[in-house]
Amino acid sequence: SSALDAAIGTVSDNAKQIEQVSDSTFKLTKNGLSSIRELEEKAAQTNRIIKEVRSDIDELSKRSKNITSIVKVISGVAEQTRLLSLNASIEAARAGEAGRGFAVVAEEVKNLAEKTAAAAHNIANIVKENEQQTEMTVKKADSTEIIISEQNDALEKAILSFNEISDSMEALVKKVQAIKLSTGEMVGHKDQVLGAIQNISSVSQQTAATTQEVTASFDKQVHEMKAFQKNAEQLEKEAQRLKDAISIFKV
pLDDT, one tens digit per residue, over 193-225 is 666 667 766 766 776 666 676 566 656 766 766
Q: Contact, 148 vs 54, CB < 8 A? A: no
Which tens digits make up the pLDDT trace of 163-190? 887 787 778 777 777 777 777 776 666 6
C-alpha 41: how far from chain center = 18
For residues 38 and 155, is the Cβ–Cβ distance under 8 A?
no
- Boundaries of every domain in the chain: 2-185
How does pLDDT run across 124-169, given as a tens digit for each residue?
A: 888 888 888 888 888 888 888 888 888 888 878 888 887 887 787 7
Fold of 2-185: Helix Hairpins (1.10.287)
Residue 100, pLDDT score? 72
The whole-number pLDDT of residue 210 equals 64
3-state secondary structure the chain: CHHHHHHHHHHHHHHHHHHHHHHHHHHHHHHHHHHHHHHHHHHHHHHHHHHHHHHHHHHHHHHHHHHHHHHHHHHHHHHHHHHHHHHHHHHHHHHHHHHHHHHHHHHHHHHHHHHHHHHHHHHHHHHHHHHHHHHHHHHHHHHHHHHHHHHHHHHHHHHHHHHHHHHHHHHHHHHHHHHHHHHHHHHHHHHHHHHHHHHHHHHHHHHHHHHHHHHHHHHHHHHHHHHHHHHHHHHHHHHHHHHHHHHHHHC
pTM for the structure as a whole: 0.47
Residue 191: predicted pLDDT: 64
- Report the distance separating Cα 92 and Cα 86, nearest Å: 10
Contact criterion met (CB below 8 Å) for 85 and 110 = yes
Q: How far lies 228's CA from each of 54, 82, 208, 231, 232, in Å? A: 124, 164, 30, 5, 6
pLDDT at 232: 65
